[in-house]
Amino acid sequence: VTDHFDVVVIGAGVLGAAAGYYLSREGWSVGIFERGAVNRQGSGSTAGNLHIQAIHPRRPGQAVPVDIKRFLPLQLAASNMWTTLEEELGEGFEMTRNGGLMVAETPAQVAELEAKHRAELGAGIETEVLSGEDARKILPILSDKILAADWCSRDGYANPLLVTLAFLRRARDCGAVISPFTPVTGIDLEGESFTVRSGDRRWHASHVVNVAGPWIANVGRLTRLNIGVGAVAIQMHLTRRAGPRMQVLVQHVGEALSVKQVQAGNVMIGGGWPAASLSMEGRSQPSLASARGNVQQAVRVLPWIGDLQLLRTWAGPLAVTRDEMPVVGEVPGCRNYFVAGGTYAFTFAPLWGKCIADLVGRRPPAAALEGLEPKRICRVV
């Protein structure tokens, strides 16, 4: 049994899996510790959309909007990594890059589409604002009420139940040790290295990577770090399978909505609508009001969905920061302790995983992380 790792990664969601892969690929000895089963929390309940065009900046009830311009260069970098990821990991995960339409229903929303399109072009993401008629040539089931849509050929989705496992398998092939049902219960700082504990068991580590998603703050407290990451629960809706009618991802510029038909034929509807309750120990509970609101939007934009049967809804936890921006980097005052997490971490998973490996290796990160560093939300207590 190994009692020393170069890097202990805490959390086996998509970020822990990606960071574990990029680190172990470079020859670091890596231990990935997971409290429960792997990929069960945010990463097992996500919609799995690859959001490359500028997103709608607010979930329902979200007070501070996402800085969508700051996101764009990061989305482009993540998009480029996803393009080669199935090949790199040597297995498919039902990635579909058929593009996406962000729709507008009012003249004011059309103006918003134009503005976001200019920002996208400025960031090197090619998009095109289409008339409603041209958008319906791409997706004939779009409502007649859609006036225009921003088209981005890079948008897509992947099966989140497969992506994390693909990263974990390759990490294991590179020597990483993956320990599910091993909650990290203590992290003692000794000089610049760490003793990581799970109950009575302990391991020495030169580096710690805290990618515990909604539990980042709890894990931080084990090392007397106050990390300003909270949690909300949001929900998804899935219809029964139908014949293929939608090849593209659909979003709305003025409202939180995402709709797609996955490879098995089910239509998946989301947008970050709030769940009835957040549970950090068990399962968060979906809300009927959110189900009604989210599904009604989807039917308004895509009337065909109204004839489908709803199969199930579920809710999952999401890590959030005060400024709604991700957090990625080394914690100030705690050398060799890194954190990564926050919103849209599925889209950003390969990028954040690679950035963590770069930072551990003391190289410039794969993406410029200005404004995302932990210093804005972390302090040693």
Ligand X SMILES: Cc1cc2nc3c(=O)[nH]c(=O)nc-3n(C[C@H](O)[C@H](O)[C@H](O)COP(=O)(O)OP(=O)(O)OC[C@H]3O[C@@H](n4cnc5c(N)ncnc54)[C@H](O)[C@@H]3O)c2cc1C
CB nearer to ligand X: give 48 or 132: 48
DSSP string computed for 328-367: EEEPTTSTTEEEEE-TTTTTTHHHHHHHHHHHHTTS--SS
Q: Which of 8, 16, 21, 149 binds ligand X (CB under 6 A)?
A: 16
Span from 63-71, 127-135, 339-347, 370-378 in contact with ligand X (CB under 6 A):
339-347
CB nearer to ligand X: give 110 or 340: 340
In whole angstroms, what is the distance from residue 260 CA to residue 47 CA?
Answer: 9
Both tokens of 233, joined, read: 């629960």
Taking residues 149 to 188 in sequence order and writing x for each that binds ligand X by CB under 6 A, - otherwise, the string is ----------------------------------xx----
CB nearer to ligand X: give 214 or 350: 214
Contact indicator for 2, 203 with CB cutoff of 8 Å: yes
Contact indicator for 135, 101 with CB cutoff of 8 Å: yes
Q: Which of 7, 8, 30, 47 binds ligand X (CB under 6 A)?
A: 47
Q: Which of 5, 7, 9, 11 binds ligand X (CB under 6 A)?
A: 11
Rule CB under 6 A: say whether 316 interacts with ligand X: yes
- Extended beta strands in the chain, E state: 4-10, 30-33, 49-50, 100-104, 127-131, 148-152, 156-157, 177-179, 186-190, 193-198, 201-210, 225-227, 230-241, 249-252, 258-261, 266-270, 310-320, 327-330, 337-341, 378-380
Q: Which of 31, 213, 220, 286 binds ligand X (CB under 6 A)?
A: 213
Rule CB under 6 A: say whether 220 interacts with ligand X: no
Rule CB under 6 A: say whether 313 interacts with ligand X: no
Rule CB under 6 A: say whether 271 interacts with ligand X: no
Residue 253 to residues 45, 192, 221, 257, Cα–Cα distance (Å) = 24, 47, 38, 9
Minimum Å distance from CB 106 to ligand X? 25
Q: How many residues bind ligand X (CB under 6 A)?
A: 40
Q: How far is residue 269 CA from its own chain's centroid?
A: 16
Q: Which of 34, 105, 155, 330 binds ligand X (CB under 6 A)?
A: 34
Residue 213 per-residue DSSP state: G
Rule CB under 6 A: say whether 344 interacts with ligand X: yes
- Work out the end-to-end distance of the chain between its first and last CA atoms, rounded to an integer number of angstroms: 34
CB nearer to ligand X: give 40 or 136: 40
Rule CB under 6 A: say whether 101 interacts with ligand X: no
Instruction: Give the Cα-Cα-Cα angle 149, 154, 156 (nearest 5 degrees).
Output: 85
Residue nearest to ligand X (CB): 13
Rule CB under 6 A: say whether 99 interacts with ligand X: no
Residue 210 per-residue DSSP state: E
Chain positions contacting ligand X, by CB under 6 A: 10-16, 33-36, 40-43, 45-49, 51, 183-184, 211-215, 219, 234, 236, 270, 316, 318-319, 341, 344-347
